[in-house]
Amino acid sequence: MAYSEKVIDHYQNPKNVGTLDKGAKNVGTGLVGAPGVWRRNAPSN
């Protein structure tokens, strides 16, 4: 079973990946998902 082009593209060119500064005032931290989406959300406004 081969992977679709879309999956391979996301794998090779990861999107929306990175780490926000957890010390910043407008960055919140939470654990989501099973297992392992470690998310820091910064409100856009």
Partner 1 sequence: MLKLPIYLDNNATTPMDPRVLEAMTPYFLQHFGNAASRNHPFGWEAEEAVDYAREQVAKLIGADPKEIIFTSGATEGDNLGIKGVYEMYASKGNHIITATTEHKAVLDTCKHIEKSGGEVTYLQVQPDGLIDLKELEAAIKPTTILIAIMYANNEIGVVMPIKEISAIARKHGVLLFTDGTQAVGKIPVDVNKDGIDLMAFTAHKMYGPKGVGALYVRRKNPRVKVTAQMDGGGHERGMRSGTLNVPGIVGFGKACEICMLDMEEDSKRISKMRDHLQTELLKLEEAYVNGSSEYRLPHVANISFKHVEGEGLLMGFNKNIALSSGSACTSASLEPSYVLKALGLGDDLAHSSLRFGLSRFTTDEEIEYTIKAISETVLKLREMSPLWEMYKEGIDLSTIEWAAH
24 binds partner 1 (CB under 8 A): no
**Residue 41, C-beta contacts closer than 8 angstroms, at least 6 positions apart:** 20, 27, 28, 30
Q: Structure tokens of 30?
A: 């939470």
- Decide whether 15 or 45 has the Cβ nearer to partner 1: 15
- Decide whether 16 or 45 has the Cβ nearer to partner 1: 16
- Decide whether 34 or 45 has the Cβ nearer to partner 1: 34
Which of positions 4-23 make contact with partner 1 (CB under 8 A)?
A: 8, 11, 14, 17-19
**φ, ψ for residue 5, nearest 5 deg:** -60, -35
